[in-house]
Structure formats: structure tokens, C-alpha cells
């Protein structure tokens, strides 16, 4: 039996995160993680990201801000890539992180800038030398 919410979630999840990321996540799914993967696809992607109240660009901005505040660096890196797929420029991503610094704190934003800079350098094909510095000049922690 097919589940339209799960199916819609998988479509949006692939559009936002990319097929390669989703394929890796699906391939790594085990009996232990299957319920969690279903939960993510059904609720985060199928029930929330599919809503019409705000567009995907705005959802990406919110997601970047929340992940920065929570200091979820791995998820942040994934969602910097997703934000680019959703049309945010590196300058817009920088503005989201700067704005978040005011409300979530400079240390959290400092880490977020380092993560975003690394991801953007990887995506642009840069050698990665610039990604080792954080806005405070201290380097990644």
C-alpha cells in the first residue's frame, strides 16, 4: 500500500537534499533506523516541507538559523547545500548566519560560518584553504 504523504515527502526530500544524499541515507537504513527514516520522510519532508504557507527558500533560511542556534554542524552542512539548491546565494546564507548571531550568540554563528564556508568552498571547487579560517580568524574548532 502506498502512502501519499511519504511519497510526497520523498519527492521534496530529493529535491532539497539531492538524490545522492537521499540514496546514501536510504542505503544506510537498517532495521534499527528504519522507523526514524520513515518519520523524517513522512513528517519533516511530507507534512512540513510540502506546506504552501512559505516557500522553500524561506524554509531553508529558517532551517539554517535553527541549526546554527542548536549548533548542529553536520545537519547545518547538509542544509547549506540544500539552501543553495533552493536558490540562496552565498551572500544570503552569510546574512542568515549573521542575523542568527544576534539572537543565538556569536560562538554558535562563528561555528556556522566555518561550516558554511567549508561547504561553499567544496561546492565551488576551491582548494579549501579559505575554509580553515572562521570569521574571528581563529580557525575551525
- Chain-centroid distance, C-alpha 101: 17
CA–CA dist 109, 99 (Å, integer): 9
Range of the domain at 3: 1-51
Structure pTM? 0.84
State the total domains in the chain.
Answer: 2
pLDDT in tens for each of the 141 residues of the chain?
Answer: 689 999 999 999 999 999 999 999 999 999 999 999 999 999 999 999 999 999 999 999 999 999 999 999 999 999 999 999 999 999 999 999 999 999 999 999 999 999 999 999 999 986 544 434 444 444 443
In a domain, 23, yes or no: yes
Asked if 108 and 59 sit in the same domain, the reply is: yes
Asked if 17 and 70 sit in the same domain, the reply is: no
- 3-class DSSP assignment, residue 101: helix
Nearest in space to 13 (alpha carbons), one of 63, 53, 66: 63
The residues, any chain, with a CB within 8 Å of residue 137's CB and separated by 6 or more, are none
Backbone angles phi, psi at 13, to 5 degrees: -55, -45
Amino acid at each position: 500500500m502506498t502512502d501519499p504523504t511519504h511519497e510526497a515527502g520523498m519527492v521534496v526530500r530529493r529535491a532539497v537534499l539531492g538524490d545522492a544524499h537521499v540514496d546514501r541515507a536510504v542505503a544506510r537504513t537498517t532495521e534499527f533506523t528504519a522507523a526514524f527514516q520513515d518519520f523524517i520522510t513522512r513528517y519533516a519532508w511530507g507534512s512540513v516541507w510540502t506546506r504552501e504557507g512559505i516557500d522553500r527558500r524561506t524554509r531553508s533560511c529558517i532551517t539554517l538559523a535553527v541549526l546554527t542556534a542548536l549548533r548542529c554542524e553536520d545537519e547545518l552542512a547538509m542544509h547549506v547545500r540544500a539552501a543553495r539548491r533552493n536558490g540562496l546565494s552565498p551572500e544570503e546564507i552569510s546574512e542568515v548566519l549573521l542575523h542568527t548571531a544576534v539572537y543565538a550568540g556569536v560562538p554558535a554563528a562563528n561555528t556556522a560560518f566555518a561550516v558554511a564556508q567549508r561547504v561553499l568552498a567544496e561546492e565551488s571547487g576551491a582548494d579549501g584553504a579559505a575554509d580553515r579560517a572562521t570569521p574571528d580568524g581563529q580557525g575551525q574548532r
